[in-house]
Amino acid sequence: MQPKPNLLNTINHSRDSAGLTYVYPVISRRAGGVSIGINLNPNNACNWRCVYCQVPELKRGSAPRIDLGRLESELQLFLRDLIHGDFMHKQVPPEARKIHDIALSGNGEPTSAKEFDQVIELIGRVKKDFALPENLKIVLITNGSLIYRPTVQAGLKQMAELNGEVWFKFDRALATARQYINNTSISLRKINDHLRITTSLCPTWLQTCVFQINAMPPAEEEIVAYLNFLQQLINNKIPLKGVLLYGIARPSLQPEAVQLSTVDESWLSAYAKRIEALGIAVKINP
């Protein structure tokens, strides 16, 4: 059965659904409930170009300057409607009528915003004005490539004080696969270094998107390389919370879309068991 057209659902993640520049609601299959999205890349610009990305007209680049005053007023307006208005009853299905988190994701890499640390401070300040769940998380969904920036590290420190959590993208361990899937030449050594910094500042999960390319799931060579990388993190005492293992739920809007398809749930579960055998927690979303 298809969701009612007037209700939000896990398939439609339109950034325009609330009619705002920076703030939008999402029914998140990974989060469970309403995720209040913060889009710091309304220009559809990212420093990576992942083949499974659902952003239309994606281009290479960074976030534009953020209008902090506008972001604050939009977040206050939306929270007021969510908590005191009829938004939940009009647009959210009954089973998802809870606020799960505030998530910085959007249409590009959020840490590319020069005001990143100021955005986190702003979220913390606005949160105090509303009766929000005590365990409400602030989630950063990031490719982790800009963690070296002082403003990003300052923001992560603030996130940790706000029950924050980082979802750090790591899709493939082999360089050739990473180049194809994420369109980046970032090395495993740099990813390791960035994870060391991130985990020292804020609780961190690896998020790994798994799918078939031309009807073939990741090869055994890739799986072994991925598991070896995780073992290195364990050996180096890099304290991950675990791995978020998920498939593609919505169509890609990139040129490679026709080559991509979902993996079987049984395949994904078998992959998760191999990760868990290393002593690492895994959450699966097919």
Q: Is the pLDDT of residue 80 over 80?
A: yes
What is the strand order of the sheet 99-104 is part of?
23-27, 34-38, 99-104, 137-142, 164-169, 204-209, 242-246, 282-285
Q: Give the model confidence (pLDDT) of 180-192 as tens digits.
A: 999 999 999 999 9
* pLDDT range class, residue 2, cuts 50, 70, 90: very low
- For the chain, how far is it from start to end, CA to CA, in angstroms? 19
**pLDDT given for residue 271 in this prediction:** 98
Of 99-113, 231-245, 271-285, give the lowest mean pLDDT range: 99-113
Kindly list the structural domains of the chain, giving each domain's residue range(s) and its CATH number in brackets, ordered by start: 23-210 (3.20.20.70)
Pairing outcome for strands 23-27 and 34-38: antiparallel
Q: Give the model confidence (pLDDT) of 232-268 as tens digits.
A: 999 999 999 999 999 998 899 999 999 999 999 999 9
* Residue percentage of the chain with pLDDT more than 70: 90
* pLDDT range class, residue 29, cuts 50, 70, 90: low
**What integer is the mean pLDDT of 259-278?**
96
